[in-house]
C-alpha cells in the first residue's frame, strides 16, 4: 500500500496527462501543472472525457467522473505542489529544464516527498546533480499510452535511497502498473535491451544475407514476435530509434554489442522515417502495410533422398517429421552458429551439393535454409521440398548463425549482460520486454529455451567467424553455460 495520497504531475502533454489520469482512476488526489494554461485546461477536459467513457462502459465505478473532477486541482505554479507526497515530472526531454524544475520542487515539497522524472533517456543522476537531497529522487518511466501500457520502470540512481525505491514501487502498484526496478544508465532497461532485436536485424541485412521482409517474416513466423525488427523501426520512427541507438552506444562507451549500422544512419539521413513519412524500410502509400507472406510450395515440388552430413539430433528429428530415408541427392547439415561455407570446409563436403538447415523453430513448423556460394539453386530446391512437407521455409544467403540463431542469440546474450551489470533482475528483464515490447519470450527465457550451452556456442562461433567482439558472450552466460546452470541462477 502506497503512502502517497496526493500525486503531483508537472507537464500536461500526452505523458503527463496519462499519468494524472491513472492517478485519478486509482482514487488519488492529483495536482496537475503546465506552463501553458490553455494546454492544462484542455488536458483536464480530455482526461475527464476518457474517464467518462470508461465509466459508461462499466470499467469504472458509477460516479467515477464526478469523483475525478473533485480530486483534480489545476495548479497555478510550483508552490501548489506543497501538499504532494510525490511529484512526477513529464516535461520537455531536455536536461536543463528538468534540473531547474527539480531544484524548484525541492524548495516547496516536504523533505520526505518523492521527486521522480518520467525521462525516457536522460540520466536520473544527472537530473538530480544540483539537488541537495538526492536520496528522494528516482525515475518513473511510463510507456505511451500511459493508461494502457502496464509497465513502469522504477529507475534507481546512485543516490536514490532504498526507502524511496520501495515507495516508488508501491506507488506504481497503487496506480495500476507493473513496476520493474532498474539501474540508472543509458536506455534504462527496455530501450537498452531493445537494441539487440533491431540492430542485429540491421546487421544481417547490411551484410546482404537477406532483405527486411524476409527477416521480419522469420521473426514473426518462427518465434511469434508480433512485429519483425524492420516493421518495428518503421512504426516507432527511424527519427526516434536511430538517435536512441546512437545515444545508448555512446553512453556504454562504444560497446560493439550496441553498435548500429550505416544502413540505419542512411535511413535516418534520408528522411524516410517509416510510417509517419509514408516510407521507411517499407512503403506505406495508400494504407499499404509492411507485412508480407512466406512463400508456398510450388505445384510440383522435387523429391529428395538426402543424407545427413554430420550427426545431429535436429536433423534426426526433422527426418522423422518429413519421413525421408538416407540417399545421395543432397547433403543436409544443421550447423550451430556456423555458416555453411565453414561447415563444408570443416567436414570436407561438396558446397554445391550441401544445404544447411536451421531447425531452431522446427517445433513451430518453421525452417530456414542456406548454402555456400555456388549452392543457391540446390538450397532453393530443398526449400521447396520442405514446404511441400508442411513447413514454412525461408531461404537466405550464407550466414554464420543463419538469421534466427543470430537475432535470438543477441537478444539473449544482451539480456544476460544486463543481469551481469545489474541493470535488472533476470525475471524483471523478461517481464519488462514482454510488457513493453510484446516479446513472446523474455531475453532470459530465450536463453534457457535455446539452452545455455547452445547459446554460448552460437555466440563464440559468431565471434570467431566474424572476428567481432559484437558477439562476445556475456560472462553471466559463459559461467552458467560452463556449469550447466540456468540463466536465472543468481550470483
Q: How far apart are CA 153 and CA 142, in angstroms?
A: 7
Strands 29-33 and 72-74: parallel
- Going from the C-alpha of 285 to that of each of 236, 278, 293, the distances in angstroms are 18, 6, 19
Residue 191 appears among annotated catalytic residues: yes
Whether the bond between 422 and the residue before it is cis, its omega within 30 degrees of 0, is: no
Q: Which of 191, 341, 384, 474 is catalytic?
A: 191
Q: Which of 2, 120, 172, 384 is catalytic?
A: 120
CA dihedral 194, 195, 198, 204 (to 10 degrees): -140
Tally of CB atoms within 10 A around 84: 26
Q: Which of 55, 117, 123, 141 is catalytic?
A: 141
Q: How far apart are CA 245 and CA 426, in angstroms?
A: 23
- Strand ranges inside 77-136, DSSP E: 86-89, 114-117
Tally of CB atoms within 10 A around 484: 8
Run of H or E residues at 198 = helix 190-206
Residue 269 appears among annotated catalytic residues: no
Residue 254 appears among annotated catalytic residues: no
Q: Which of 55, 89, 153, 417 is catalytic?
A: 153
End-to-end CA distance of the chain, in Å? 31
Residue 346: which of 382, 306, 309, 398 has the closest Cα?
A: 309
Long-range contacts of 448-451 (CB under 8 A, 24+ apart): 448/486, 448/487, 448/488, 450/360, 450/408, 450/409, 450/412
Residue 241 appears among annotated catalytic residues: no
Catalytic residue positions, numbered: 120, 141, 153, 191
Amino acid at each position: 500500500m502506497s503512502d502517497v495520497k496526493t500525486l503531483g504531475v508537472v507537464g500536461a502533454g500526452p505523458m503527463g496527462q496519462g499519468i494524472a489520469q491513472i492517478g485519478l482512476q486509482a482514487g488519488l488526489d492529483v495536482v496537475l501543472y503546465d506552463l501553458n494554461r490553455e494546454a492544462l485546461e484542455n488536458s483536464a477536459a480530455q482526461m475527464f472525457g476518457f474517464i467518462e467513457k470508461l465509466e459508461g462502459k462499466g470499467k469504472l465505478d458509477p460516479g467515477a467522473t464526478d469523483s475525478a473532477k473533485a480530486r483534480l486541482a489545476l495548479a497555478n505554479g510550483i508552490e501548489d505542489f506543497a501538499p504532494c507526497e510525490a511529484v512526477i515530472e513529464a516535461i520537455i526531454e531536455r536536461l536543463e529544464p528538468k534540473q531547474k524544475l527539480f531544484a524548484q520542487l525541492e524548495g516547496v515539497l516536504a523533505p520526505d516527498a518523492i521527486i521522480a522524472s518520467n525521462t525516457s533517456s536522460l540520466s536520473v543522476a544527472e537530473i538530480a546533480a544540483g539537488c541537495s537531497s538526492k536520496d528522494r529522487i528516482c525515475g518513473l518511466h511510463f510507456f505511451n499510452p500511459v493508461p494502457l501500457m502496464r509497465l513502469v520502470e522504477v529507475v534507481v540512481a546512485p543516490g536514490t535511497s532504498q526507502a524511496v525505491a520501495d515507495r516508488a514501487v508501491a506507488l506504481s502498484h497503487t496506480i495500476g502498473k507493473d513496476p520493474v526496478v532498474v539501474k540508472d544508465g543509458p536506455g534504462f532497461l527496455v530501450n537498452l535491451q531493445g537494441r539487440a532485436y533491431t540492430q542485429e536485424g540491421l546487421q544481417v541485412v547490411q551484410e546482404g544475407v537477406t532483405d527486411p521482409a524476409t527477416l521480419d517474416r522469420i521473426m514473426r513466423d518462427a518465434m511469434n514476435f508480433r512485429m519483425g525488427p524492420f516493421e518495428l523501426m518503421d512504426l516507432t520512427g527511424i527519427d526516434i530509434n536511430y538517435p536512441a541507438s546512437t545515444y545508448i552506444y555512446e553512453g556504454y562507451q562504444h560497446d560493439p554489442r550496441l553498435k548500429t549500422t550505416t544502413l540505419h544512419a542512411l535511413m535516418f539521413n534520408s528522411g524516410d522515417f517509416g510510417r509517419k513519412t509514408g516510407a521507411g524500410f517499407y512503403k506505406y502509400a495508400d494504407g499499404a502495410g509492411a507485412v508480407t507472406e512466406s512463400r508456398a510450395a510450388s505445384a510440383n515440388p522435387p523429391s529428395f533422398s538426402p543424407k545427413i552430413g554430420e550427426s545431429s539430433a535436429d536433423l534426426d528429428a526433422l527426418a522423422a517429421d518429413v519421413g525421408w530415408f538416407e540417399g545421395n541427392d543432397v547433403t543436409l547439415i544443421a550447423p550451430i552458429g556456423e555458416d555453411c561455407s565453414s561447415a563444408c570446409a570443416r567436414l570436407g563436403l561438396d558446397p554445391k551439393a550441401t544445404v544447411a538447415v536451421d531447425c531452431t523453430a522446427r517445433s513451430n513448423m518453421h525452417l530456414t535454409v542456406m548454402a555456400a556460394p555456388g549452392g543457391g539453386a540446390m538450397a532453393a530446391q530443398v526449400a521447396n521440398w520442405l514446404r511441400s512437407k508442411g513447413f514454412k521455409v525461408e531461404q537466405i544467403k550464407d550466414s554464420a548463425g543463419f538469421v534466427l540463431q543470430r537475432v535470438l542469440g543477441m537478444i539473449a546474450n544482451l539480456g544476460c549482460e544486463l543481469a551481469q551489470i545489474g541493470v535488472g533482475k533476470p525475471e524483471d528483464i523478461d517481464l519488462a520486454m514482454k510488457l513493453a515490447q510484446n516479446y513472446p519470450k523474455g531475453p532470459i527465457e530465450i536463453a534457457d529455451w535455446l539452452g545455455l550451452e547452445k547459446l554460448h556456442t552460437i555466440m563464440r562461433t559468431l565471434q570467431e567467424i566474424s572476428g567481432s567482439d559484437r558477439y562476445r558472450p556475456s560472462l553471466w552466460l559463459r559461467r552458467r553455460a560452463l556449469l550447466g546452470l540456468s540463466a536465472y541462477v543468481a550470483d
